[in-house]
Amino acid sequence: MKARPHWAEYAIEAWALGTFMVSAGLATALIELPDFGVRGLVVSDALRRLLIGIAMGVTAVALIYSPWGRRSGAHMNPAVTLTFLALGKVRRADALGYIGAQFVGGVTGAALVLVLLGERFAAPPVAFVLTQPTHGLRLAFALEWLISCVLMTVVLTLSSRPRVARYTGLVAGGLVATFIALEAPYSGMSMNPARSFASAAVAGQWMNLWIYFVAPPLGMLTAALVHAKRGAARAGCAKLVHGRDMRCIHCGYEPRSGTESLPLGGLTHGND
CATH classification of the domain holding 103: 1.20.1080.10
Give residue 249's pLDDT.
92
Residues 29, 124: Cα–Cα separation, whole Å: 10
One-letter amino acid at 196 equals: S
Within a domain: 40: yes
Domain annotation covers residue 25: yes
Distance from chain centroid for Cα 41:
30
239 assigned to some structural domain: no
What's the pLDDT score for residue 232? 54
- Rounded to whole angstroms, the Cα distance separating 91 from 165 reads 22
How many domains, the chain?
A: 1
65 within 8 A of 241, measured Cβ to Cβ:
yes
Write out pLDDT tens, residues 159-187. Answer: 888 899 999 999 999 999 999 999 999 99
**Which is more confident, 242 or 249?**
249
- 252 φ/ψ angles, rounded to the nearest 5 degrees: 85, 10
The helix (H) or strand (E) run that includes residue 177 is: helix 168-182
Q: Which domain holds residue 33?
A: 7-229
The predicted structure's pLDDT at residue 2? 63
Q: Is residue 234 part of a domain?
A: no
- Counting DSSP H helices and E strands in the chain, the numbers are 12, 0
Residue 244 belongs to some domain of the structure: no
Q: 218 in a domain, yes or no?
A: yes
Amino acid sitting at position 162: P
Cβ neighbours around 166 below 10 Å, total = 18
What is this structure's pTM? 0.91
Q: Flag whether pLDDT at 258 surpasses 90.
A: no
